[in-house]
Chain A
């Protein structure tokens, strides 16, 4: 009986390993383009960008800090677009039309994919919205950033420059 109790208690002791922590390989996914305009039936994979530093941004039209982050990220992307850097945004709106409407008001120059079922956020084990990941050219996560305020862009840019230098 005491052995059984001990065994049962031990079932509650388990290490919570986040699947998307710094230093881990970024899980691959393939999702349709939000605007369905790219080739390959409109599907984009994260691994398509292997060899480039990728800023993976999970956002939604209902997420207030995204109003701040998206124009800043677009600026950052255009500033470094001649380098081996790309931004890949995943829109998690349950109705992709909401994401499209948002982008008509705040257009961006980088690829945006749509995941209304929330498969990739679950894969990356997001704890808040927005969450962004800086992934290096080998596909390893280097930065996990939850939430967004104006001053965060400087920190992200500094980390990005570091990664670009390292991959040269």
Chain B
């Protein structure tokens, strides 16, 4: 019984003690900056895709969609 309780506590404790906190919709100002986007420059994105294709002989799977304003 004590062992089970201890095991349970050890499993649950990291979930409670973690510091994950969501960013509120009105705090996304810094995330909306161009430099925070993964691909803000189409030219740079095109170049990176070309390099990736050249090295990996495959492409795709590296884009993300959605706005930074929390409205979608």
Contact = CB atoms under 8 A, between A and B. Distances in A.
Nearest to A118: B26
A128 B71 CA distance: 5
Chain B interface main SS type: loop
Interface stretch (B13-21, B28-36, B45-53): B28-36
B25 interface: yes
A84 B70 CA distance: 32
Nearest to A131: B25
B28 A62 contact: yes
B29 to A, nearest CB: 5
B29 A60 contact: yes
A32 interface: no
Given A118-B24, A121-B24, A122-B24, A94 B71 contact: no
Interface footprint category on A: 20 to 34
B71 A65 contact: yes
A53 interface: no
A121 B26 contact: yes
Contacts of A61: 29
A129 B33 contact: no
A129 to B, nearest CB: 5
A127 B70 contact: yes
A126 B28 contact: no
A121 B68 contact: no
A126 B29 contact: no
Interface string A129-161: 111000000000000001110000000000000
A64 interface: yes
A20 interface: no
A130 B71 CA distance: 7
A72 interface: no
B33 A126 contact: no
Contact of B26 (A60, A65, A146): A60
Interface of B: 24-30, 32-33, 67-72
23 contacts: A58-B26, A62-B28, A62-B33, A63-B69, A64-B32, A64-B67, A64-B69, A65-B69, A92-B29, A93-B29, A118-B27, A121-B25, A126-B24, A126-B26, A127-B70, A128-B71, A129-B25, A129-B70, A129-B71, A130-B71, A146-B71, A147-B69, A147-B71
